[in-house]
Structure 1
């Protein structure tokens, strides 16, 4: 039986192709269907990581701010987002958001108006969501998991304001990474007792009480109504020199 090697893969019998890899590369392409196949997607995924790492490698200390895209400009949590973005910038931190409207726009606005670095990590969605105008360093992603890696890799802490499924997804991914020791010294602040206390109570009374998490795991999050306290919590152990 003849062996056929396709890179690191060994093929025999009916698995041996009629045309070599080089032959397929140089042969006529009848259809661009290959653009939508998984091997090509891997290259696009790789390019997203390369672009993200390259763009953010020199960002410096940063805090990621999460919150709803649906918050209106005249909402209380929008004003808190602006305040938080400004406070972080004044302390020398870049502000990272998802780059969209609502709370994301608010935090970017606060950072921008305070003269700080305002980062937006956008995502391709079925309904277009433009990068908000207060972002001065923006990257658009096709893949959620590549984008979420950037949220964590280049931040030293998270602040979450009221939000929906996306905010919960990002919050619990961060919590899982901290709980498992994958990342360390990663403070998380939640702004708004009226919004978050129900969740915190359920975590204690259901999840922790049933032994699914340790009671101390709930303490990985600090809840406050005060934006100043939230910023202090996520930056308290992080000294940043401000020029």
Structure 2
């Protein structure tokens, strides 16, 4: 899942488990180098070795997260700081979800992600951050207790889907939209089951929902059922109830 862009300079650059600065900061990211097909045919000899690094990232993620217990992922903008209502709402939602027996997983960055980790820690829960190598972020926020840094977005996305029992999507930008639609696609295609997706913030998200209804649904590119795969709300109680109900359904049905 990408984070939303930040314009402020940072002192450090995170590259997987490494922390770099100054002349050690690379000019491209690992994902860029993987996906770049231009230039010489040297990639033929390099890509097999990249597979080993990708494999190592999967192993590190699985090994680190296998025992965290029930968890909910929270997504949202890196740009919405402590002075915003979105940040305060994220803190409270996170606290309430921890009280209901969940760990909290975020992208580990600033803004809404920081708020989710802060709320989890304040409630005495497990605060998890899954970071990603980006040119404009300096690593995990100070409220992450269990942090894993990834080079590859697709590995990181797998961890969110595998170890979360649901997604809470707070106001955000391109990265948040990517996470929202990725989750919708996985539920729509049956790759994950009984997986609640909650958009929090009616004023922020209503325009997107209206467009999906008047364009996608009207043109027949999605179905009525697809519009029922997520919930739009401003009610924190409803967020907690939706997650808890889905978990209860899983346990009764014998699903993981």
TM-score (norm 2): 0.78
Match of 2:49 in 1: 40
Question: Does residue 128 of structure 2 align to residue 119 of structure 1?
Answer: yes
Check the 8 A contact 2:168/2:198 in 1, yes or no: yes
Question: Does residue 111 of structure 2 align to residue 92 of structure 1?
Answer: no
Please report how far the alpha carbon of residue 133 of structure 1 lies from its aligned counterpart in structure 2 after TM superposition.
Answer: 0.9
Alignment of 1:168-187 (within 5 A): 168-187=177-196
Question: Does residue 83 of structure 2 align to residue 74 of structure 1?
Answer: yes
Please report how far the alpha carbon of residue 219 of structure 1 lies from its aligned counterpart in structure 2 after TM superposition.
Answer: 1.2
Please report how far the alpha carbon of residue 120 of structure 1 lies from its aligned counterpart in structure 2 after TM superposition.
Answer: 0.1
> What is the distance in 2 between the residues matched to 1:95 and 1:205?
34
Please report how far the alpha carbon of residue 76 of structure 1 lies from its aligned counterpart in structure 2 after TM superposition.
Answer: 0.1
Q: Which one has more relative contact order, counting CA pairs under 8 Å at least 6 apart?
A: 2
> Equivalent of 1:214, from 223, 228, 244?
223
> What is the distance in 2 between the residues matched to 1:68 and 1:216?
28
> What is the distance in 2 between the residues matched to 1:109 and 1:232?
21
> What is the distance in 2 between the residues matched to 1:217 and 1:129?
37
> Equivalent of 2:117, from 89, 100, 108?
108
> Equivalent of 1:144, from 132, 140, 153?
153
Highest CA radius of gyration, 1 or 2? Answer: 1
SS of equivalent to 1:139: strand
> What is the distance in 1 between the residues matched to 2:102 and 2:207?
30
> What is the distance in 2 between the residues matched to 1:128 and 1:164?
15
> What is the distance in 1 between the residues matched to 2:211 and 2:240?
25
Match of 2:5 in 1: none
- For structure 2, the residue ranges without an aligned partner over 5 or more in a row are 1-41, 251-256
Check the 8 A contact 1:63/1:94 in 2, yes or no: yes
TM-score (norm 1): 0.82
> What is the distance in 1 between the residues matched to 2:159 and 2:244?
19
> What is the distance in 2 between the residues matched to 1:165 and 1:238?
29
Please report how far the alpha carbon of residue 165 of structure 1 lies from its aligned counterpart in structure 2 after TM superposition.
Answer: 0.6
Please report how far the alpha carbon of residue 226 of structure 1 lies from its aligned counterpart in structure 2 after TM superposition.
Answer: 1.7
Check the 8 A contact 1:159/1:234 in 2, yes or no: no
Moved over 3 A (4+): none
SS of equivalent to 1:162: coil
Question: Does residue 234 of structure 2 align to residue 225 of structure 1?
Answer: yes
Deviations 1:140-159 (A, max 9, x none): 00000000100100011000
Alignment of 1:48-63 (within 5 A): 48-63=57-72
Please report how far the alpha carbon of residue 237 of structure 1 lies from its aligned counterpart in structure 2 after TM superposition.
Answer: 2.8
Equivalences, count: 207
Please report how far the alpha carbon of residue 238 of structure 1 lies from its aligned counterpart in structure 2 after TM superposition.
Answer: 1.6
* Greater Cα shift, 213-222 or 229-238: 229-238
